[in-house]
């Protein structure tokens, strides 16, 4: 009886493990081009989403990575994306979700110095970004919201001087002073009622 119980337990554990087969990169692609080498993953054919107008999709077809706005015609990139220079230094690293950039992205120059960081959400820049010069010093720093610059964009002229520009939904505006935001004595404007 103990042997039958042990056999049943081991067999059921084996079946349970068989249900969760890890992905060992069946959809992983390595592509060598003239000036770089790419490693990326694609979506299996049965899981393709509908395209959203206005978003840029990245997809793989005919031995090349393509990108188009509002549609695609191949295997969508999905997962970790890395591109390398011929000297094996990392050029660009990020993540795709159903053909759209998503999460943190970084770019480097050929000597391995970080040149850009950005944050993406479902194909739109959304979050902090920075650009760097060849010595690693920050050149610009700011924030995107739903694909448009939002907040203070800081340009570093020298080590001690900066120029700040304030954006609201991609348009240059004047920042609202802090005291106007928190003034408890400020009265709200009441719209005048229109008479017919």
* Res 158: pLDDT: 85
Q: Which residues of 130-149 are buried (b: 16+ CB within 10 A; e: fewer)?
A: bbbeeeeeeeebbbbbebeb
pLDDT at 22 over 60: no
Q: How far is CA 101 from the centre of its chain?
A: 4
Question: What is the per-residue pLDDT across 1-18, written as a single tens digit (0 to 9) for each?
Answer: 667 665 666 555 554 444
Which domains are assigned to the chain?
27-101 (no CATH), 104-185 (2.20.110.10)
Encoding tokens for residue 112? 């391995």
Task: Provide the whole-model pTM.
Answer: 0.74
Top-confidence residue, 26 or 68: 68
**Rounded percentage of the chain residues whose pLDDT exceeds 90:** 51
pLDDT at 110 over 90: yes
Going by C-alpha positions, the residue among 115, 140, 116, 119 that lies closest to residue 128 is 119
Pairing status of strand 75-76 against strand 64-69: unpaired
Question: What is the per-residue pLDDT across 142-160, written as a single tens digit (0 to 9) for each?
Answer: 999 999 999 999 999 987 8
* Res 175: pLDDT: 73
- What does the pLDDT average to over 77-105? 95
**Block residue for tokens 């003239």:** 34
Residue 179 pLDDT class (50, 70, 90 cuts): low
Residue 44 pLDDT class (50, 70, 90 cuts): confident
């Amino acid at each position: 009886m103990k042997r039958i119980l042990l056999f049943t337990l081991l067999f059921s554990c084996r079946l349970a493990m068989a249900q969760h087969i890890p992905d060992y990169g069946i959809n992983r692609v390595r592509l060598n081009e003239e000036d770089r080498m790419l490693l990326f993953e694609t979506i299996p054919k049965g899981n393709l989403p509908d395209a959203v107008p206005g978003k840029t999709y990245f997809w793989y077809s005919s031995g090349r990575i393509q990108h188009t706005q509002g549609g695609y015609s191949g295997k969508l990139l999905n997962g970790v994306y890395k591109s390398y220079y011929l000297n094996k230094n990392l050029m660009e690293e990020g993540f795709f979700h159903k053909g759209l950039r998503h999460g943190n992205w970084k770019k480097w120059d050929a000597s391995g110095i970080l040149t850009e960081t950005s944050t993406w959400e479902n194909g739109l820049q959304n979050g902090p970004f920075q650009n760097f010069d060849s010595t690693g010093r920050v050149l610009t720093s700011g924030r995107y919201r739903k694909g448009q610059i939002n907040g203070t964009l800081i340009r570093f002229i020298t080590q001690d001087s900066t120029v700040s520009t304030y954006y609201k939904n991609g348009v240059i505006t004047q920042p609202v002073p802090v005291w106007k935001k928190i003034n408890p004595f400020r009265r709200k404007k009441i719209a005048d009622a229109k008479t017919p």
